Every structure is written in C-alpha cells, then in structure tokens.
Structure 1
Amino acid sequence: MTRSRLAVVGNPENRRVTMLLDAATRSGMPTPRVVSWREVLIGRGTRFHADEWVRLDSPGEDPDVDALLRGAGDPTRIADGPRWYASLLAAVGTLRGGRRLTHPDDLAVLFDKRRCHAVLAGDGVPVPISPTSGGDASAPRDWPEVRELAAAAGLRRFFVKPAHGSSAAGVVAVETASGGRVQARSSVEIAEDGLYNSLRVRRLTGEAEVGALIDALAGECLHIEAWLPKPSWQGRAADLRVVVIAGRATHAVLRTSAHPMTNLHLGGQRGDLEAARAGFDAAGYGWESALAVAERAAACFPRTLCVGVDLLPAANWRGAAVGEVNAFGDLLPGLSGLPGRADGLDTYAAQLAAVAGGWSDHVAA
C-alpha cells in the first residue's frame, strides 16, 4: 500500500465511506479518493490511476442513486430489482484503470442469490437445499410454481427471496403443512400502488394471502431455499454474520431475533458471541470449524478482498451452512476483530491492513 493509492466508489456522505476514511486517517495512510456512484451512473466516465486500488462500496441509502439504478419512485418500494442489478453491473463496467478490491465478476455473482448458491454448492460449501439454484431458467413465475418447486425439493419450510435483493427486502418465510395449510412471515407491506419495505415483520395466513404476496413479488426473479432450523439464544433464533478479509475470518456477530429474519434493522439484536463459540465447541463441532465454513465460502471469490458471510449454525450447533455471501457485508459499527485474527481493528481498518500486508501481491490486476 505504500506504493499504491486507494480509491473508493461510494456515496460520499454515507457512513460506509466516512468510516473507511476515518480508518485510513487512523492508520496514517493518505486519504482515499472518493468517486460518487452518482458521477459514475450519469456517465461521466471514471478512470483510475494505474497504482490505485479501487474499492466498490454499497450504492444504497441514497434516493438519487437509487433512482438512477432502477428508475424514479419511493426508495422503500420493492420493484425493479433486475433493472437495479443490470444498471449496477453496467456502471461497474464503465470504470477504467486501477485494480479492484471487489472484482466485477464476483460482484455479478454475489448480487444474484441463485448464481451465488450454485457457485457455493459447486465448491462443496454447505448450503440450504434450493430448487432455483443457477439462474433465470428456474425462476418461478407465480405462487403455484413456487409451491410446486418447493414440494418437489421436499421443502415444507422455505424462504422466498428476490434474487437481487439485500437487507431482507422482499424476503418471505413460508411454512406449509398437511392439508394444504400455509402461513408466512415477511416485512413486506402491500399497498394499493405496490410493495414496500417495512421495519415490522408481520404474519400472513392462508393460501390466498400468501399466494397474493408471492405473485406480487414474482417479477423480482425469485430464489427459493430451505428454511433451516436455527439454534436458540435466550429464546431467540440465532445466526452469525462473519466478515472474511483476505481469506481469513476476522469479525463475527451473533444475530438474534424473534423472527425468521435476524437482520438488525428488523428488530434483530446482537447476542453474546461467546455463546456461539461455546455452543460449537460443546457440540464437538468447534468454533474454528464454523469459521472455516465462512472462509470456504469466501474462497469462492478470491479476487475480492472482503465479503460478509451469513453463517447458519445447526440447531444443535453440530454444523454450519452458508445462507448468503454479501459483497457489502462489512458494515458492523463498533465491532472489534476476533482475537488473534484482527485484534483491535474494525472491519475497515482490517481491510486496509490486509492490503498493506500484501494481499494485493496475490491478486491479478
């Protein structure tokens, strides 16, 4: 890093960017150059210097950028995910020069849950059963197709997710039972003019109500995967977000919730990480083995410095699977690194240390 410079493509006022800049200041490195997503998306053309390492950060939380990616409208709406995805990849394709900390080919897979699932499974990473793993050819067009695909895969409890979504937007947790009974939980709000994200998880009951929601979401290229039982911590379902930097798990958060979705903005809470460590160790599976599963998932994307892995512990802590791998999964304010792995460093400082320590020497330009 002493011979290179760092640039970041992001939303300049967003905390993701400001936290990176703060980490750079603390480390004594030159302030990274910030290129706004808006500038990239309006087609001004962005060229980076040959010695610049380019970090791609989330384009989220900016209404103007959201409109450029998927068209005008309320940023909380659930719509036009495929257009958002195509616009993002096209914008990344206009960047010239420099070297990437997030490889464009990896980004294309990470933001398509179906493709990402297939890549993980193909490399032997444990993942939930999915009848839509792969791509558009298997995308169900409506609720009857969703139910048929799930039944054929032997799934009675399953998640339905927009393929290009994030932050649990549009996710529906479905439970079916004998006799055709069905219920679901989701944070989606149905309004006269469309579907919207909400901070409240609600319950839907009956074929008609659940089917209407799935039908309304079908244009988002749906992905289906098994809803695996999660362990309990203080009466709440628990899973983990593990940040993997330069191939090594460096940070972890135990996420707990009264709902199937453990995302913190949906009422999830950080739990005691030591409880997870103790759970894995007491079950004989081992904490290090769990972290190794997250590292195996990240290894599927060796040209990308950092990913956030959603790790799903088995209900008895005797194993772990990977739910998702997130391109921008490093926003964990106030979290210090795991002992012996990133002591005293937040996720941004740890990434800067990894590049300074030679990660870039092992990555093709």
Structure 2
Amino acid sequence: MALSIPYRIMESCEQPYLLIANPSNKRTAGLQAARAKLGLAPAAVLSYEQLLSGDACIGDALRKLAGRGDIIIRLDAPGENPAVERQLIAWGAPDRNGDDMFWSGGSLPNSISIVSSEALLLPPEHGRIWHPAQWYRGYCRFLAAMQREVKASGARAYWVNSPGSIAKMFDKRTCWQLFERHGLQLPALPAAAGSIKSYEELRAAIATSGMKRLFIKLACGSGAAGVIAYQTNPRTGEELAITTIGSEQASSGFSFYNAGRLRRYSDAKDIRRIVDWVCGEGAHIERWIEKESFEGKAFDVRQLVVNGKACHTVARLSHTPITNLHLRNERSMDMKRLLPEDVRQAVQQTAEKALRAFPGSSAAGVDVLVQRGSSATYPIDINPFGDLLYGAEYEGMNTYEWQMRQLLRKE
C-alpha cells in the first residue's frame, strides 16, 4: 500500500529509491550525483516514455525492489521530451479511456482536442504549445494509473509527492482554492476561479470588478508559457499585453508558441486572439500586484520547502513584470540585500504554509510575491518539481543533496 507522507527516514543506505523521470534529464543527473556524493545507491529509474508506451510497468519495478525495505517513489518533471509530450496528449485524447479521478475539466471541446493517433504524430516544433488542456488531462490520467498500479502491487511504498497532490499543483485554479481554504493571503480575482472562458468574458469581469491590471495565466502552464501581464487604461480604454506567447497563421488557423522572450501587444485583435486561446484552454486570472523591487528590477522569490521546512531560496529579478528564470532573468541568492529579516521570515512562513495545503507532498518550490510598499507576502504558484535551482545552497548543500540528506537523518 502506497502512503502519501513526508520522506520515510532511512534505516540504511540500501533502502530502495525509485525515480520516475526522463533519464537523460538534468534533474535525473542532479539527483543521482547527490546520492553518489552521500554514499547512497543509485536510484532505480523508470522512464516516462516507457511507462506511457506500455514498454515498462511500475509493478514489475516494485517487485524487483521488494525485500530491501520500504520503497520511496519520486515522480519528477515530465517536460523537455517531445516523445513524452506527444504520449501525454494522446493519453488525454477524447477517444481514449482513462481514469479521470484527478481531472476536473469534464469533456474537452472538439475545438481544442485531437484524437490519440493524431497526437502521436505531432511534429517536434521548438517552443510550440500543443494542446495544453489535453496534455494536462493526459498527465492526470497517467498519475491516476501510477497510483492505482502501486496500490495493486501491494508494495509498501512512500511517495515523495503523491500523484494526487502533483495533479492539484499543476492546476493554478485548484491551487488558488486550496490556498484560500488554508487561510493564505491571495491576489483578488476579477471573477470566480476558472470562470472566465473568453476575451469578452474577461472584459465583462473587468467592468464588474474594476480591476484594470491583471495576470492571465494558462492554468496548467509552466516556465512563463501562457502568462500574460494585461492592463487597460481606464481613461482611454487602450490595452497592453506583455507575454511570451507568439502566434502564427496556419492553414488550419492560428498556432501558439512560447517565444522564449517577452512581447508587447497593443492591438486589440492580437490581444483578443491570445486571450481567447489561453481562456479556451483554461485560465487562472488574478489581480496584478506590484512586486517589490531592487535596483530598478522587480522580483519575487522561489522558496523550496522540504519536509515542512523552508530551505533553498532564489530571488528572480527582472526589468519586466514576468520574472521566470526561463526568460534569462537575473537570479540572486543574497536575500539579505533584497529583504529585511522579518520579510524574509514571512516569505519562508508563507511557503511552508502553502505546502501544508497539499498534505500528500513533502517537497515543492513555492513562488512568493512580496508586495511593493507593504511587504505583504502572497503565494502565487507552487511547483512539485521546483527544486532545480542552480547555484542555490542551504547548509552547504545543493537542493538534491539536501533532499537526499534528509533520508539519512534520524526522525
């Protein structure tokens, strides 16, 4: 029976550790290097591609590891692999059966979905954002399958982050609702979470709420993909959208991609097109709160939390409203220069409280916004795979070394 609790403390270095990941990924390399440095046996690795295609079974892997103690299972990021992306889109297709216990979006409209056979033939176009809602549905189905198969195996196993908690973290609408339920201070919404489905509905929500500056986010996006910093001038009605989203005209309509750099749109037709696309795939929309700044750069904080305790911290600084490190923004580990002690503690406490909203998880990166002028802290995102923080150290260890070290400490 798989349990969703914080890391199980190791009795010896031989306790088996099973990693579900893309084997050639830098995350996998970082974790294995940390285990080697601490004298731990290499993690057994199951690839997403093999599991999704049916060429591997997690039950078989668990049986091979049986008899060596309780098994720790870590699900890592499925990204940066075109074959895995296609498989997940195929798993989420309307013509394919799957367990939708973690998916709350209902049926996918024909306008944003494709059948599984077409999904497997999607070309590898760099930056192209293919069917994000269907991808998320496929990942939810995969997570449900992993949970079911581990339970059926009878193995005594512990998830680092349970499949259900990972599915919830991937949906910004669900995250907002869970944060609110746990008493966290949050940016206000112009309308009920997930209720805005189009540009016209956005404009109506702005008129009703009076919010003129908003962040529009693809609900299941990451790495700034599908994020729009939107504002409208209350006097002239002019609009401005700052985003990584690019679009191209094709024979079948417009396609959308992550440009990898920010673009500014002021033409209403362009803004309508990208907002309609994001909202059609599922959007989370919240008030734009001005971030604290340092030397003319706005910043927020990626705070890693492991076993309920804040550890590694990276500030993300940018001359733009969007601070994601994927956009080659500046990073800083010198938090003492950026924030006073009481605010740094508030950031850590906010992140720790945010992770407690997901009781099936023991490690996540929490993005915390510090409001300019008030020092109020807001959790604006949580990432179950948010521990790839280059250069960040805590007690002399990088993020993977720190997490593996927790396995060696007594309870």
- Could you state the TM-score of these two structures normalised by the residue count of structure 2? 0.80
Q: Which moved more, 1:231-240 or 1:13-22?
A: 231-240
Counterpart selection for 2:286 from 185, 200, 225: 225
CA contact (8 A) 2:193 2:284 kept: no
- The residue that corresponds to 1:280 in the other structure is 340
Question: Is 1:5 aligned with 2:16?
Answer: yes
Q: Which runs of 5+ in 1 are unaligned?
A: 338-342, 360-365
Question: Is 1:299 aligned with 2:359?
Answer: no
Q: Residue type matched to 1:36 in 2?
A: S
Q: What stretches of structure 1 move > 6 A for 4+ residues in a row?
A: none
Check 1:58–1:302 CA distance in 2 against 1; reply closer, same or farther (3 A cut): same
Counterpart selection for 1:142 from 192, 198, 213: 198
Question: Is 1:119 aligned with 2:178?
Answer: yes
Question: Is 1:251 aligned with 2:251?
Answer: no
Check 1:276–1:153 CA distance in 2 against 1; reply closer, same or farther (3 A cut): farther
Matches within 5 A, 1:189-204: 189-193=246-250, 194-204=255-265
- The residue that corresponds to 1:162 in the other structure is 218
Q: Which moved more, 1:122-131 or 1:12-21?
A: 122-131
1:13 alignment partner, SS class = coil
Counterpart selection for 1:42 from 53, 64, 70: 53
**Equivalents in 1 of 2:241, 2:269: separation in Å?**
11
Counterpart selection for 1:91 from 124, 127, 142: 142
Structure 1 position 101, deviation (Å): 0.8
Question: Is 1:321 aligned with 2:378?
Answer: yes
CA contact (8 A) 2:144 2:164 kept: no
Deviations 1:266-291 (A, max 9, x none): 131113533455x333xxx4321221
Question: Is 1:14 aligned with 2:25?
Answer: yes
Q: Which has the higher contact order (CA 8 A, sep 6+)?
A: 2
Q: Residue type matched to 1:268 in 2?
A: N
2:84 alignment partner, SS class = helix
**Equivalents in 1 of 2:174, 2:202: separation in Å?**
18
**Equivalents in 2 of 1:352, 1:54: separation in Å?**
13
CA contact (8 A) 1:63 1:75 kept: no
CA contact (8 A) 1:77 1:196 kept: yes
2:23 alignment partner, SS class = coil
Rg bigger for which structure? 2
CA contact (8 A) 1:159 1:226 kept: yes
Structure 1 position 351, deviation (Å): 1.2
Structure 1 position 66, deviation (Å): 1.1
2:314 alignment partner, SS class = strand
**Equivalents in 2 of 1:11, 1:30: separation in Å?**
19
2:79 alignment partner, SS class = coil
Deviations 1:238-291 (A, max 9, x none): 1110000111110101110111111112131113533455x333xxx4321221
CA contact (8 A) 1:66 1:75 kept: no
Q: Residue type matched to 1:45 in 2?
A: C
**Equivalents in 1 of 2:331, 2:368: separation in Å?**
14
Counterpart selection for 1:213 from 264, 274, 279: 274
Counterpart selection for 1:65 from 75, 84, 87: 84
**Equivalents in 1 of 2:139, 2:343: separation in Å?**
39
2:340 alignment partner, SS class = helix
1:94 alignment partner, SS class = helix
- The residue that corresponds to 1:56 in the other structure is 75
| Percent identity (aligned) | 31
Check 1:132–1:288 CA distance in 2 against 1; reply closer, same or farther (3 A cut): same
Question: Is 1:356 aligned with 2:356?
Answer: no
Q: Residue type matched to 2:204 in 1?
A: E
Q: Which runs of 5+ in 2 are unaligned?
A: 1-9, 90-118, 151-156
Question: Is 1:310 aligned with 2:371?
Answer: no
CA contact (8 A) 1:184 1:205 kept: yes
**Equivalents in 2 of 1:232, 1:79: separation in Å?**
34
**Aligned positions, number:** 347
Structure 1 position 177, deviation (Å): 1.5
Q: Residue type matched to 2:158 in 1?
A: R
- The residue that corresponds to 2:298 in the other structure is 237
**Equivalents in 2 of 1:151, 1:200: separation in Å?**
30
2:133 alignment partner, SS class = helix
CA contact (8 A) 2:333 2:392 kept: no
**Equivalents in 2 of 1:353, 1:300: separation in Å?**
24
**Equivalents in 2 of 1:350, 1:107: separation in Å?**
21
Q: Residue type matched to 2:162 in 1?
A: H
